[in-house]
Amino acid sequence: MTHKPAPTEVSIHELIAGRWSPRAYSNAPVSHEQVRAVLEAARWAPSSYNMQPWRFMVFERAADEAAFKRAFATLVPFNQGWNASAQVLIAATAQKLTAKGEVNRTAAYDAGAAAMALVLQAHALGLAAHQMSGFDVTAFRKEFAIPEDVEVIAMISIAHYGDAAALDPALRDREKAERQRMSVGEIAYRGAWKAAF
């Protein structure tokens, strides 16, 4: 299932409405050029003072299977199960300090913007991308010697879309279920906290 548009309240751009987080992956290879393209999209994300605090650790199964397996081993068992066919893992991180050594309070926000650009580009290329918090950050940090001033935020898996019928029945149902979000009225306030939009 590659097409699962969001049931939006008002019309939005297809690139945003069409992006979702599938779990049914194919084991078809993802090209290095496609990986470069998603990283290029992330590179052009906005950031406070143009500090660009994001750093992405990229693990391509085809290019370095040993490193890929080391990153894969840090995923929680549930995520390892449905990511068995993933071709690329990308750890999204953020440098927490500025060049002056001061705390950059927008580092994670900016890294999130870059990650969103990355997954939107993956969607534009016809690839599936799924962002995850379900991995052992401590183990990942130790395995790859991540400096203390770097926050490890999320893991993103990328692959070609696969057959939802091959998933475990519970995951298959989730894959086919209609997408849901809170309403705009629940997430946006007009002029005062909790004031109806």
Instruction: Write out pLDDT tens, residues 46-100.
Output: 999 999 999 999 999 999 999 999 999 999 999 999 999 999 999 999 999 999 9
> What does the alpha-carbon distance between residue 47 and residue 100 come to, in Å, rounded to a whole number?
17
Q: How confident is the model at residue 2 (pLDDT cuts 50, 70, 90)?
A: confident
The pLDDT of residue 105 is above 60: yes
Across the chain, mean pLDDT equals: 96
What pLDDT is stored for residue 1 in this prediction?
Answer: 57
Digit-coded pLDDT (tens) for 110-160 = 999 999 999 999 999 999 999 999 999 999 999 999 999 999 999 999 999
Residue 159 host element (H or E): strand 150-161
Expressed in angstroms, the distance from the first to the final Cα of the chain is: 34
Amino acid identity for residue 31 in this structure: S
Label residue 41 left, alpha or beta by phi (over 0 means left) and psi (-120 to 50 means alpha). Answer: alpha
Digit-coded pLDDT (tens) for 160-190 = 999 999 999 989 999 999 999 999 999 999 9
The pLDDT of residue 18 is above 70: yes
Domains and CATH numbers, the chain: 14-164 (3.40.109.10)
Average of pLDDT values for 5-21? 96
pTM greater than 0.75:
yes
What pLDDT is stored for residue 3 in this prediction?
Answer: 87
**Angle at CA of residue 1, ends 29 and 88, nearest 5°:** 25
What pLDDT is stored for residue 85 in this prediction?
Answer: 97
Nearest residue to 130 (alpha-carbon basis) of 74, 78, 90, 180: 90
What pLDDT is stored for residue 30 in this prediction?
Answer: 98
Label residue 173 left, alpha or beta by phi (over 0 means left) and psi (-120 to 50 means alpha). Answer: alpha
